[in-house]
Every structure is written in C-alpha cells, then in structure tokens.
Amino acid sequence: MKTRLRLAAVPFLSARPLIYGIESGVLANELDLIVDSPQGCVSLLTSGDADLALLPSVCLRTLLLDPGLDLRIVPGVATVRTTSMHASDDEPLLGPLPGSVSDWCEQHGLPFVSALWVGRNGAAGWQHAELLAQSRDFGLAHLPDIAAAQAKHKAGFAARYQAFLASSMTYRLGAQELSGLAALLDQLGRAEGSTVSVRPRFFDLAYTSTCEPAAARPRRERGGAAKSLDTLLAAAAAGERLAPDQALRLYTKAPLLDLGRAADERRQALHPGNVVTYIIDRNVNYTNLCVTACKFCNFFRPRKSPEAHTLSRLELAHKFSETVAMGGIQILLQGGVNPDLPLTYYEDLFRWTKSNFPLALHALSPEEISFISRLENLPIRRVLERLVAAGLDSVPGGGAEILDDEIRRRISPLKCSTDTWLAVMREAHALGLRTTATMVFGFGETPEHIVAHLDKLRALQDRTSGFTAFICWPFQAEGTRMRLADDTTAGRYLRVFALSRLYLDNFPNLQVSWPTMGPAIGQVALRFGGNDFGSAMIEENVVSQAGAVWMLSAEDIERQVRAAGFVPRRRNMRYELLAHPVAPPSATHTPPERRPATSAPAGAVSPTSPSTPARSLW
Amino acid sequence: MGAMRFARIRDKVCAGEPLDREDGLALFRHPNLIELGQLANEVRERRHGQRTYFNRNMHINATNVCLASCRFCSFARTKPGDEGAYTMSLDEAWGRLRKRLAAGDPITEIHIVNGLNDGLPFSYYTELLAGLKRLAPAVHLKAFTAVEIHFFAQHFGMAVPVVLQRLRAAGLDSLPGGGAEIFAERVRRKICADKCDAEQWLDVHRTAHGMGLRSNCTMLYGHIETDEERVDHLLALRALQEETGGFQCFIPLAFHPEDNDLSRLPAPTGVEDLRTFAVARLLLHNIPHIKAYWVMLGLKTAQTAQWFGADDLDGTVQEERIYHMAGADTPERLEVRELVHLIEQAGRVPAERDTLYNVLAEGEALRSSRPYRRPKPLRQEVEA
C-alpha cells in the first residue's frame, strides 16, 4: 500500500474547509494535494495521477457509471448546501440542471451535496477516511482564517465569506445528504434521458473505525451525572447527544409531555418546513410459509399447513398493477422465510417486476436476506449484490424486534441474531442501499433493552448513514401464541417514540405507526417527534392478523396531517418530496364507501371492501 | 397565538384567575398542542394530583324511539315500527340490572338515557326508577338528560320542578349531562332543531341544582360549530356553575359520523380531541372534573387525555348503545382491572369513585393479586 495519498481538489471556497488542514500543512506529511479545476481533477483521477479527488457532485454520474473506474465514496465528509441557506448565498446549479440551489432543496426537501471525495475501489482505507475527517474538522475550526484568505485573494469581505461558510454550508455526509445525492444523481440521469439508477458505494472501510464526524461523538457531561431532567431535556431538544444512562433516566423519570415537547422541538429543528410526509406503497407478502415460527406472529403458516401459500406471478401482477393504478410507487415485499425459494426465485421476481411495473422494490428484511445467504451458502454481501443487480432498491428494517439476543431467543429463537441483523444492514449500506430500522416493544423487555436497541442503531448509523427512518410499534398480541402482560398502551408508545426522536440524533426521519396505534395516536405522535405518517396502505397482512385493523387512504392521511397543523407531502423511500398529484381537499369530506373515516374492516385487502365493524382494543 | 398571549394566559391560570372569551379562542387556536397540554395538566394535577377516577356502572338505554331527529344521531328511530327501533318492557330493563347483580357485579351507578318516546306514559319512567331502586337500593340512579326532562314537562303537561320532584321521589339521584350539544342557536337549528334550546337546557340543570340534585354537563364538538361557539358554550356552563355549583363533571363528546345525517363530515382527530380536553380544563376553572369518556374516544386517546386535563375515565359501562350505533369501535365494557391498567400505564393512580366522587378504593387496593393479562378480545355486535 502506498504510504502517501495523492489528492486532487476543486478550488472553490465552499470546498476549502475540507482541505484546509492539508493545505496548511497540519496533515501534509501524509497527504499530497493538487488543487485544480473540476475537469483537471477528473483527469487526474481517471489517469491515475490522483488516488482521491474532491469533485463536484454534478460531474459524478458519468464517473460512477464507468465500470473501469469502480468509484467509491469516502463516508462522512462532503460539502453540503443546507436547506436554510441565506438567500444571497443562493447560486445557479452547475451542470445541465435548471434553477438555483435553494430551488432544488425546496423542491426535493433534501440538502444539496455539492462536492465529495471519491476514488477507485481500494484506493483508500479507514485511516485515510479518518485523515480527511480530521482535515475537515481542522478547517471547521479555522473558518475565519479561510474567509480571511479568500478576502485577500479575491475582493470581498472576510465576514461575508465566513458567514457563508458557517451558515449556508455543512460538511457532513449524513443520511439526508445521501438521499440528496441519490436524488441529484437520478435527476442528472433523467436530464440525459437515462433511467439507469446509480447507487454510489462507499469505500469498504473497517466499520470499527472511529471515522465518524466530531459532531456525532458523545459529549462528556459537564458537572458529572447530576444534570436535572429539565437540563437534560433542553440539551436533547437542542440536538445534544444523549448518553445511554441519560436516555434511561429520561425514559423512566421524565413526565410524558416534557419528553414529548423536547422531541417536538427536535423534530421542528430537523424539519423546519412543517412538512409531514407519507408514501403510497403496498405491503405484499409473497409467501406466508415461514420456518422461523416466531411466537408473536399470527401471519405465518408452517410448511405442512394447507394454508401455506406462495403468491403466483398472476396474483402478484394483479396486486402490482392495482398499486400502480392507485398512485403507488413502491412495493414493500416481505415473506415468510420460505426454504423452497432459492436466490434465483428472488432474482427472477425482481427482474420481472422491474421490467413490467414502474415500482420501487423495498424488499426482504435482514432475516430473509440472512436466510438466503445460509440457504445458498453465499456471503451476505454477495446475496445483496445479486439482488441489487436484479432490481432491489432498498431494504426494510423489519425483524429487528428488540435487538437483544436473550429476548430474541425467547420470542423468536430461529430468527437471526442481533449481530446478523446489524451485519445485513451494514453490508446493505456499504453497497449504497438505503434501509429503515424498526423496534417492536412489549415483549417484556426492560427500559435498558430499549435504550440499548436505540444505541445499536445509532452506532451503526454513525458509521454508515444508511438508515433513512426509524419506526417503532408495540407488539400486537391478539391471537398469537404469546400471552404477555400488556404493557403497550398509548402512553408507553408516545414515551418510547419521543425518546427515540431524542436519542437517534443521526436519524433524519421518524415514522408514526398508525396501523398499530390507530389514526388518533398516530396523529398525536406527530407532536411527539414524528415527521412521517408512513404509508397509505393498500394492503397489510401481518399486524392485521394480530388485532391491528386500521386502514387509511391518502386522503385520510392528508386530513390527519393537516388537522395536526402540518403540510402533507408525498415522498419516496429516500424521503425526497414528490410533486403533489392530489388537489387540496374540498370543504366536505366523503368517506369512501361509508367506511369509518378513521378505521377500516378487519382483514381488508382493498380499501373498498364492504364494511365490517372495525375493532381496536388497546 | 403569540408567545406573549400564551404567557399571559399562563399567568392567569397560575394565579387562579378565570380566563376570558379571547383567551379561550386563543387556546383553541394555539399551535403548540403539548404546551397547551402541559398547562392543562398543571391545573389537573393541582386539583387531583396523580389520581384518575373511574366507577363501576352500567348503561340502560330503554328506548331509541325518538321524536327528535338530530342529525348527528345514529341511535334514534323516529317510529316504533322502524327497523332497529326498540322499547324495553320495564321487566326487560330491570332484567339488565338483575343480570349484573346475579353475576355479582358490584356496580354503584346506573346511567339511563333514552329517546324522546311519546308512546310511553310518565309512569313508565317513575316505575323504571322505582323498580331499579327496589332491586339495588344502594345503586345511584343517574338518569334522564335535560332534554328528556324538558320533554316530560311539555309532553305530560307538568312544570320542570314537578317532573324532577316526581322522578326524585321514584329514585332519581342525579342527572347526566347529555343533550347540551352546542348552545349556539345557529348550530342547534341545523343539527338538533327538535331539541330544547340552550336556555331550557340550562334551566333544567339550574332547577335540579336548586333541589340539591347534582348533574354533569357536556359539549358535542367536531361537527359544524366554530371555535367561538365552543368557547361560548363552555362559558355558559361556567356561568351556571358560578350560580349553582351543581355540576360535578364536564364531558367533551366527539362527534361520530357513522350512519347519520352528518356522515359527510369527518370525525374529529386525536389532536383535536386532546386540544378540546385541555381547553376545557383551562376554561372551566369552577367545574371539578373533566371526564374522558372512553367509549367515545377509544381507549388509547382516553388514556392519553389523562395528560391533557382529564381526571376521570367514566366507568366499566355495559351495553352502551348510542355511540356504538354511531360507529364507536370500543368494547362494550371494561373490566375494573382493564381500567386500572389503562390508568396505571399512563402513570396515574386509579381511584374508584361513586357518582358523587367519593373515593371507594384507591391505588394498590384496586390491584388484583393476579398479574394483568389482556382479556380475550370482545367481538362486539354492532347492529347494522
């Protein structure tokens, strides 16, 4: 391995903070730097004269599509235009795109990643990523110097430059930034008339490294552990990272509304536009045959059961075209863990889906992926690569339940372990797949288990930024083989939910779970830290088999969101805002098919099935 | 609402000063739901600490035949022969109680609300009460809304005090708070033109209070009323309470849009429910209790309302018809241990009360020795 890394970087002011540590010689004995124009940097990278280049994102797409280059991204570090930029700092987009940066941010609801470090696969290791993060941190600590140098070099005021660098830019490649980058790459593709989706991959770093940005490192508590609850809540509301013991105190001691209010403030800071998003997708369970046999599940059928069934292509085609007709953009496809289905089954299914329907595939939870890997005796990464090649777009975060092996052994002994669940997610993120994360509580776990679960998710997110959203819900007990003390009522849900918003400071989105909690508490949870109303579901089979029977249309969702004081917007899986196809609701509301505006028939498969009394006990 | 306005309201609340109409409007429009809840919760905890009350009760809706055709109602049938119309014989009605007594159910209250049925003699009502009293002399009879009392007075040609005296002699102990809907004439004309007007409703309660009978009061919200009409309604209740002190409890009732003339309207959402509780707690400084009626709200919202000003969850309730016929998807009754669980899970202390809010048992005493198990779900039968 080369001892010195050769770097190329663009000369823009906005990029300066990333390279200032190198330029000023602090880290120069390990890194060589050439500053050149964007074209110059691209040439240096493609010719092999530079190992890594800091390139504008608008010139990345072509490079990423070049199989000869096999480019990877350095995680954690980028230059980003924030959504709250100062108007006078706005500028036209580079490249072939119309409009300005702020137009772009507003339209997509995501930050605009303007430049990031890329290089050939294998060109950099974790120690390099760490150096680049250090350089960035050094630059951030010396913004006045950077601004002064710029003022000297060009006409202008240092204070003005400094304000630009400090308030219109950020320098972290977090989860929202990854979504912004993906949205930009897709848009660039569309501008060229291409529908090929580019999924930028990261350098394959050892994920045990400590290259997460400084801002995300836990802060030491000043004045020992004796912070009052109020101080703790105020700090968390302001975005300070909570330590596990602090979270535990908040969870067990803070009054519900105090916790909720802090979470509400945090949500407001993360999503200042007052937008609450939702998606239209369909939950399709391709098989109910499952060998995992979790005690809390009422959906699965064992292999010998006459009711065990795997959907045919015809059944799937029917469901998929219905979804498209109802404005759906995605299929959430999950099993059953069915040992009769080899990897090729999924590859064929995905290819068939992609060539016949304009639908994204949010498919196969970690449990299914790890099962396929064991079945096929292939590494998890290889399974994921083949699924991605066949059309997999993202991975749902189901099956996490409580990430604690003792509890998992008790409730779902055959399900993948905590480490495996996290490993699948880590591999998926490294391949550029985005995923969600979940938690199901009410299995007799302790508050410590809940905090530990959140901590595991937050730690992985620090390294990958691959999670787009977190969703939690109480275990739905009805008819399952578990007779647990029911500890899962609304108060506990709101408490867990608000705590999650505060603890998961690196998760941009928190989805409320109205399918399990009902629309009323789902809506109230928007005031306890939630910024997403989930899915206008066309179908749901699993929790509805265990007593959760709610069903809301897009119109119902928009009404709930508005009544809570928010602006409803549709999104895709990466939380990019979509153009609004629905006219604002008229003054009167017509409940479709006279079903309750807030509830729906048990076991309904279509929103228009005849009404039977809906039921929700807890 | 500006932060200044809210701060002024907070100061008034802390000083125990009554809020005015403008304050009420500002609260209904306050964007920060949780801030509102926190303030209401302060008042609630100041008055009741961590206690949440409930009772062991049953409902009897003896007839759904009703002269009035209120547009929000899914319960009433206009004629005896209409589909779904029923009138219980006295023995049937008494039978409901006998069944509960036979089951060893220690109820302390019977809640009786009916349609305005012009086919029944006044003796039906007095005998209904007297019979129930004979069966269970200690059980409190909370019967007949002001609308029914007013109807009895008109229909049987008696003055309201006479009606009340005769019912009381037969066993009446207090009045429920139903039928208030929204006092505004504009709204009543549109949704319940056949019902007594605001003055008449208030006058029945004034008379009852004057005779030493206690009563409750309600507001039906979430249909066509404006914020102003809600505030005025609450202030009218407050004014009568100032005069008589006879109201024990205020119950906000959410409009349910199933199977009635107003089905085109959406039901109020969870946020609106909680907001109404909080504003009511803040405006009604002289009414001791705010009840979250779980039958109407659903258990989850009722549980959450305990943080937004409510200190009472009503009771075990059996055979509720009115809200269930309007599409309420709650069970038809709760066990005491379920209510206790619901309250404890909200971090409150359960207190079993009688109708007059004497505490009968509290906290640990209500815990059964068995660990809590979720009961088998009830498959309710909602009549089509």
CATH number corresponding to A272-578 = 3.20.20.70
Distance from CA of B11 to the nearest CA of A (A): 19
Judged by average pLDDT, the poorest of A7-11, A64-68, A202-206, B223-227 is: A202-206
Residue A201's Cα: distance from chain center in Å? Answer: 16
Can you point out the beta strands (E) in chain B? 51-55, 57-60, 109-112, 140-143, 174-175, 214-221, 247-254, 289-290, 312-315, 349-353, 359-362
Q: By the CB < 8 Å criterion, does A389 face chain B?
A: no
Residues 545 to 574 of A: which have CB under 8 A from any B CB? 547, 559-560, 563-565
8 A C-beta contact, residue A516 and residue A581 = no
| Token pair recorded at residue A485 | 């003390």
Is pLDDT of A247 > 80? Answer: yes
What pLDDT is recorded for position A89? 66
Average pLDDT rounded to a whole number, residues B126-138: 97
What pLDDT is recorded for position A480? 56
Q: What is the C-alpha to C-alpha distance for residues A177 and A204, in angstroms, rounded to an integer?
A: 19
- CATH domain A5-215 topology: D-Maltodextrin-Binding Protein; domain 2 (3.40.190)
Q: What is the C-alpha to C-alpha distance for residues B332 and A197, in angstroms, rounded to an integer?
A: 54
Give the burial class of B276: count Cβ atoms within 10 A of its Cβ; 0-12 exposed, 13-18 middle, 19 or more buried: buried
CA dist list (Å): A370 to A45, A379, A388, B94, B225: 37, 9, 15, 63, 56
**From the CB of residue B138, how many other CB atoms can be counted at a distance below 10 Å?**
9
Distance from CA of B124 to the nearest CA of A (A): 34
Q: How confident is the prediction for chain A on average, in pLDDT?
A: 85
Residues of A in contact with B337 (CB under 8 A): none
Of these ranges, A442-446, B128-132, B328-332, the one predicted with the greatest mean pLDDT is: B128-132
Stretch (H or E) spanning A15: none
Contact B304 A521 (CB under 8 A): yes
Question: Domain B3-366 classified CATH 3.20.20.70?
Answer: yes
Residue of B34, B325, B368 to mutate when probing chain A, most A C-beta within 10 A: B34
What pLDDT is recorded for position B327? 73
Q: By the CB < 8 Å criterion, does A534 face chain B?
A: no
* CB nearest A485 (choices: B37, B257, B372): B372
Evaluated on CA atoms B318, B319, B323, B326, the torsion sign reads positive
Distance from CA of B328 to the nearest CA of A (A): 9
Please give the single-letter amino acid code of residue A27: L
Residues above pLDDT 70, as percent of chain A: 83
Q: What is the C-alpha to C-alpha distance for residues A188 and A61, in angstroms, rounded to an integer?
A: 7
Q: What is the C-alpha to C-alpha distance for residues A11 and A55, in angstroms, rounded to an integer?
A: 10
Residues of A in contact with B259 (CB under 8 A): 594
Q: By the CB < 8 Å criterion, does B177 face chain A?
A: no
8 A C-beta contact, residue A77 and residue A18 = yes
Contact B307 A478 (CB under 8 A): no
CA neighbours within 13 Å on the CB side: how many for B287?
33
Q: How confident is the model at residue A100 (pLDDT cuts 50, 70, 90)?
A: confident
Contacts of A297 (CB under 8 A, 6+ apart): A290, A480, A542, A546
Beta bridge partners of A437: A470
Distance from CA of B277 to the nearest CA of A (A): 14
Distance from CA of B371 to the nearest CA of A (A): 7
Q: How confident is the model at residue B78 (pLDDT cuts 50, 70, 90)?
A: confident
Strands A112-120 and A71-81: antiparallel
What pLDDT is recorded for position A546? 60
8 A C-beta contact, residue B332 and residue B320 = yes
Question: Closest Cα to residue B382, out of B302, B334, B316, B326?
Answer: B326
Phi-psi group of A239: left, alpha or beta (phi > 0 → left; psi -120 to 50 → alpha; rest → beta): left
Q: Running DSSP on this structure, what letter comes out for residue A58? A: G
8 A C-beta contact, residue B267 and residue A597 = yes
Q: How confident is the model at residue A221 (pLDDT cuts 50, 70, 90)?
A: very low
Q: What is the C-alpha to C-alpha distance for residues A210 and A216, in angstroms, rounded to an integer?
A: 11
Q: What is the C-alpha to C-alpha distance for residues A210 and A129, in angstroms, rounded to an integer?
A: 10
Phi-psi group of B325: left, alpha or beta (phi > 0 → left; psi -120 to 50 → alpha; rest → beta): alpha
Enter the ipTM: 0.88
In the three-class reduction of DSSP (H, G, I as helix; E, B as strand; rest coil), residue A31 is classed as: strand
Domain boundaries, chain B: 3-366
Residue of A258, A484, A545, A598 to mutate when probing chain B, most B C-beta within 10 A: A598
Q: What is the C-alpha to C-alpha distance for residues B102 and B256, in angstroms, rounded to an integer?
A: 34
**Ranges in chain A annotated CATH 3.40.190.10:** 5-215
**Ranges in chain A annotated CATH 3.20.20.70:** 272-578
Please give the single-letter amino acid code of residue B244: T
Q: By the CB < 8 Å criterion, does B49 face chain A?
A: no
Residues 200 to 219 of A: which have CB under 8 A from any B CB? none
Judged by average pLDDT, the poorest of A26-35, A211-220, A227-236, A421-430 is: A211-220
For tokens 């028939």, name the residue: A601
Is pLDDT of A586 > 50? Answer: no
Average pLDDT rounded to a whole number, residues A65-81: 91
Judged by average pLDDT, the poorest of A78-82, A396-400, A545-549, B347-351 is: A545-549
Can you point out the beta strands (E) in A38-142? 52-56, 71-81, 112-120
Judged by average pLDDT, the poorest of A478-487, B197-206, B370-379 is: B370-379
Q: What is the C-alpha to C-alpha distance for residues A341 and A311, in angstroms, rounded to an integer?
A: 12
Contact A522 B270 (CB under 8 A): yes
Is pLDDT of B39 > 80? Answer: yes
> Residues of A112-143 as b/e, b for ≥16 C-beta within 10 angstroms?
bbbbbbbbbeebbebebbbbbbbbbbbbbebb
Q: What is the C-alpha to C-alpha distance for residues B194 and A442, in angstroms, rounded to an integer?
A: 50
Q: By the CB < 8 Å criterion, does B301 face chain A?
A: yes
Q: What is the C-alpha to C-alpha distance for residues B355 and B314, in angstroms, rounded to an integer?
A: 10
Contact A615 B329 (CB under 8 A): yes
Contact B300 A594 (CB under 8 A): no
Q: Running DSSP on this structure, what letter comes out for residue B56? A: -
Question: Closest Cα to residue B72, out of B219, B234, B259?
Answer: B259
Terminal-residue alpha carbon distance, chain A = 60
Stretch (H or E) spanning A185: helix A175-191
Q: How confident is the model at residue B380 (pLDDT cuts 50, 70, 90)?
A: very low
Counts for chain A of helices (H) and strands (E), in that order: 21, 17
Is pLDDT of B91 > 70? Answer: yes
| Token pair recorded at residue B87 | 């009138």
Residue of B342, B374, B380 to mutate when probing chain A, most A C-beta within 10 A: B374
**From the CB of residue B243, how many other CB atoms can be counted at a distance below 10 Å?**
12
Stretch (H or E) spanning B165: helix B160-170
Angle at B235 between CA B231 and CA B238, to 5 degrees: 145
Residue A49's Cα: distance from chain center in Å? Answer: 35
Q: Across the beta sheet with B312-315, what order do the strands follow?
A: B312-315, B51-55, B349-353, B359-362
Contact B34 A261 (CB under 8 A): yes
Contact A589 B265 (CB under 8 A): yes
Minimum CA–CA partner of A488 in chain B: B345
Contacts of A285 (CB under 8 A, 6+ apart): A299, A311, A333, A334, A335, A336, A541, A542
Counts for chain B of helices (H) and strands (E), in that order: 14, 11
Residues of A in contact with B257 (CB under 8 A): 591, 596-597
Question: Closest Cα to residue B338, out of B362, B365, B303, B306?
Answer: B303
| Assessment of whether the complete model's pTM goes beyond 0.90 | no
In tens, the pLDDT along A155-212 reads: 788 898 999 899 889 999 999 999 999 999 999 998 888 878 888 888 876 554 443 4
Q: By the CB < 8 Å criterion, does A489 face chain B?
A: yes
Give the burial class of B359: count Cβ atoms within 10 A of its Cβ; 0-12 exposed, 13-18 middle, 19 or more buried: exposed
Interhelix angle A256-270/B33-48, rounded to 10 degrees, is 170
For tokens 């772009």, name the residue: A104
Q: What is the C-alpha to C-alpha distance for residues B370 and B374, in angstroms, rounded to an integer?
A: 12
Residues 28 to 87 of A: which have CB under 8 A from any B CB? none
Contacts of B62 (CB under 8 A, 6+ apart): B87, B88, B93, B112, B114, B128
8 A C-beta contact, residue B282 and residue B19 = yes
Residues of B in contact with A587 (CB under 8 A): none
In SS3 terms, B3-35 reads as HHHHHHHHHHHHHCCCCCHHHHHHHHCCCCHHH
Evaluated on CA atoms A401, A406, A407, A412, the torsion sign reads positive
Is pLDDT of A602 > 50? Answer: no
Contact B269 A257 (CB under 8 A): no
Residues of B in contact with A517 (CB under 8 A): 300
Contact B329 A589 (CB under 8 A): no
A–B interface: beta-carbon pairs under 8 A: 142
Residue of B329, B332, B337 to mutate when probing chain A, most A C-beta within 10 A: B329
Distance from CA of B299 to the nearest CA of A (A): 6
* CB nearest B382 (choices: A264, A520, A613): A613
What pLDDT is recorded for position A482? 53
Residue of A478, A486, A512 to mutate when probing chain B, most B C-beta within 10 A: A486
Contacts of A158 (CB under 8 A, 6+ apart): A144, A147, A148, A150, A151
Residue of B332, B345, B349 to mutate when probing chain A, most A C-beta within 10 A: B345
- Per DSSP, helices labelled H in A110-174 are 126-141, 143-153, 158-167
